Amino acid sequence: MGENFEEKAVFFDIDDTLLDTSSFAELARHAAINNIVENGLPIEQDHAYDILKEIIKEKGSNYGKHFNVLTKRVIGAEDPYLIALGMTTYHNVKFSLLEPFPRTIAILIYLKKKGYQIGAITNGITIKQWEKLIRLNLHPFFDIVLTSEEVGYEKPHPAIFEEALRRMNCSADKSVMVGNKFETDIIGAINAGMAGILVNSELTYEQEQMIENEKLDVTVLHNISDVDTVL
């Protein structure tokens, strides 16, 4: 293209990288189940929770009617009162607990001061992913937020990383991707020519061997609070 790309960028995955999405969701599901069982769903809480987990597995976590299916499976028909109770409890608990991992804001400020552009590359529904950043007050730090829904490809497909680089106007070799999933975030980024920082996850022996044999530019950190030790 003949352009001189000077910008350096750090891209972040959102779920389980910036915030502990999985734990918050699990606590919120338990609270929702407790509430609907206490208010009349005729089944043991543990059993109801297992059914809910099955439904989430079948329909995906972004499906909007988990509690409709749950009441239908348990009592043979949808129960509007219990569905609304479940949904409300789920959202209230989830959003009251939601917070970024420790030092996330300090790290974002640090990166800004060091001249990095900051982006998010996330698999998920655009509005939902923005909602998390806004509720956590992290959105002002992000120059771009790119979702799989927007691009039409999920990580690890290179198209989503390439589109992020294009929008940020920076080159892959000056960019690093921080994420918690080795195959999705890290190998995806590496295949797009970026470096990778794995957080909140441990490498398997095979993954360690792969990094060594193929000399991949991958750093493993305990969590996001350590990012300033390598950037």
Nearer to Mg ion, 8 or 155 (CB): 155
Binding residue (CB under 5 A) for Mg ion from 8, 9, 11, 16: 16
97 within 8 A of 83, measured Cβ to Cβ: no
169 within 8 A of 143, measured Cβ to Cβ: no
Distance CA 225, CA 231 (A): 12
Nearer to Mg ion, 45 or 200 (CB): 200
Nearer to Mg ion, 21 or 117 (CB): 21
Is 20 a binding residue for Mg ion by CB under 5 A? The answer is no
Name residues contacting Mg ion, limited to 111-150 (CB under 5 A): none
Q: Is the dihedral of CA 173, 179, 182, 183 positive or negative?
A: negative
State in angstroms the smallest separation of the CB of 185 from Mg ion.
7
Nearer to Mg ion, 16 or 20 (CB): 16
SS3 (DSSP) at 161: helix
DSSP state letters, 30-65: HHHHHHHHHTT--S-HHHHHHHHHHHHHHH-TT-S-
Distance CA 144, CA 148 (A): 13
* % helix, strand, coil for the chain, step of 5: 55, 15, 30
Q: How far is CA 144 from the centre of its chain?
A: 15
Nearer to Mg ion, 51 or 220 (CB): 220
Nearer to Mg ion, 168 or 186 (CB): 186
Q: Are strands 195-198 and 218-220 parallel, antiparallel or unpaired?
A: parallel
Binding residue (CB under 5 A) for Mg ion from 35, 68, 117, 180: 180
Binding residue count for Mg ion, defined by CB under 5 A: 4
Binding residue (CB under 5 A) for Mg ion from 13, 20, 79, 163: 13
Nearer to Mg ion, 13 or 79 (CB): 13
State in angstroms the smallest separation of the CB of 105 from Mg ion.
19
Question: Segment contacting Mg ion (CB under 5 A): 82-90, 173-181, 187-195, 217-225?
Answer: 173-181
Question: Segment contacting Mg ion (CB under 5 A): 11-19, 58-66, 125-133, 138-146?
Answer: 11-19
The number of helices, as runs of H, and strands, as runs of E, in the chain is 10, 6
State in angstroms the smallest separation of the CB of 26 from Mg ion.
15
Question: Segment contacting Mg ion (CB under 5 A): 12-20, 23-31, 38-46, 148-156?
Answer: 12-20
Residues forming the site for Mg ion (CB under 5 A):
13, 15-16, 180
